[in-house]
Amino acid sequence: MRTKVVYGKKGRGPLSTGFGADVCILEQGQVKKQPKAEERPIPSVLTEICGNIILENFAALKIDSPAPKKRHIRSQKLKRRVSFPRISPSPPQSLLKPQFSQRLASIDGDTTEYVKPLATFCSDIEDFQGWADERIKLLGMIKIGEGSYGEVYRATNKEGESAIFKLLPLRARKGVGSKIYTRIEDAANEVQLLQKMSEVPGFVEFRGACLLHGPMPKHFVSEWKAYLTTGRTVESRDPSRKNAYPPTQLWLAIEMSDAGEDLSQGHYTPPRHSGEPLGERYLSIQRTWDIFWQIVRALTLAEIHASFEHRDLHLGNICIKETRSQIDTEDCKFIPRNRPTPFKLDHTGVQASLIDYTLSRATVAEDRILFSNIGADKDLMNHPEPMYRDMAKVLSPEGWGPFSPKTNLVWISRLLKKMLEVTKEPSEEARREEEGKITVTATMLMILEEVRDMTSVERWEEWMVGSAESLVTMGVERGWFLIKDVLKT
């Protein structure tokens, strides 16, 4: 059984690679071109609004004219347009690159040619020990997870700013380590996908990558041993062993924004001062609402931006971060039962992000598609949980390559079911009714339960929606929320 950790995936076999040997890249001519937005089988107000725009500089989006009335939102030809100024965004702040001198490693020509697929992201190869020495002086580096790809660290500076970075051992060109670790091509694909999806709100921000050369430095060896004492599963090699890594080992360090802690670890408990017993694990209805619709919103924008399917969206691949300190309180204001007031997607100050695109499918460039052939993975298809088999049911007849956004609904359905299982029941006051009116909190729960039931995987052939995008469209049409809140970052 596969297990997941923060920012990484546990291997299904010994030392399986990051993207895996089963990753597929389709170039022009190998599959049909993806249909244009207007050719999608399920009409969507978001498709009408966004078309094929590139999601650049979301913070600067402009709404040119008012939205039409919600009751006509699907059939009416929309006059409103959303424009994204084509301004190159400023480079993201990196904790690992600035203010450090560069100590280049002594590399032969053959090795330089070997790592050429990564040249777009890494211009030089640095000495690992020198790279570590300079950063450890100014940054606290703590190991927080690992998978078959390698190690995951959180780096924090003196001002309290933090970043996440993966440390991947790369497959050697020949000799020791030439049949294990991550292939150069797979590492390049992972970086390219991270870079592509970092343009979309709700996805971690890619901040850069660098190639390193040499054995693992002492600080990282100590962190490996400290992580071992936590009792969590460790699959990576003990770096203190003499022949763990050769002196010529190549590494790829990938820096990302810190999206917080993953939901599988129980980090969704509201602030302790809310009066609940310490350690009780639950979600308030407002918090469930925020997290769920933020994830659906992220998938919606990703579907438009890159024909993206996550294909592995369990609780361990959703991170949340508190953006403000507040107590989750019920909203007991009465509103009409059958005409809900549109709700915002940020009641609790929580920010949800998607991580780990190892099994994802995305169009990263024109006629260039990255995806993993999940159907060929016996471990996944025989997984105790049925999600991977459920995805196979809703795929395009052409298999795992073409865009099949119903796979996002498979995970949306499972996600909401799991979240509602740990969502606290409304209080007696929040359950009150008055002359055809119910409370805001009760209305939110009613809508979430309706979405859970309508997206039940057991009845997938009866689904009224076929993607995250069309689910959001339905929400807009039914007055659950407004388009401006969907497009808001």
pLDDT digit string (tens) for the chain, length 489 residues: 433 333 444 433 333 333 343 455 554 334 444 444 333 333 454 555 444 333 333 333 333 333 434 333 332 222 233 332 222 344 567 877 655 666 777 778 888 899 999 998 888 899 999 999 988 888 899 999 876 577 999 999 989 999 999 999 999 888 777 778 899 998 999 999 999 999 899 999 999 999 999 999 999 999 999 999 988 888 888 999 988 888 899 999 999 999 998 887 665 554 444 444 444 568 899 999 999 999 999 999 999 999 999 999 998 899 999 888 777 889 999 999 887 789 999 889 899 999 989 899 999 998 899 999 999 999 999 999 999 999 999 999 999 999 999 999 999 999 999 999 889 999 999 999 998 899 999 999 999 999 999 999 998 999 999 999 999 999 999 999 988 888 765
Q: Two tokens at 308?
A: 């993206």
> Quick one: angle between helices 468-477 and 406-421, nearest 10?
70
> Quick one: angle between helices 406-421 and 285-306, nearest 10?
170
Q: Two tokens at 67?
A: 């939205």
280 backbone dihedrals φ, ψ, rounded to 5°: -70, 130
* 469/489 Cα distance (integer angstroms): 16
pTM above 0.85, yes or no: no
Q: What residues does 154 pair with on adjacent strands?
A: 142, 164
Work out the widest C-alpha separation in the chain, in whole angstroms. Answer: 80
* 418/54 Cα distance (integer angstroms): 33
| Residue type (1 letter), 379 | D
| Residue type (1 letter), 76 | Q
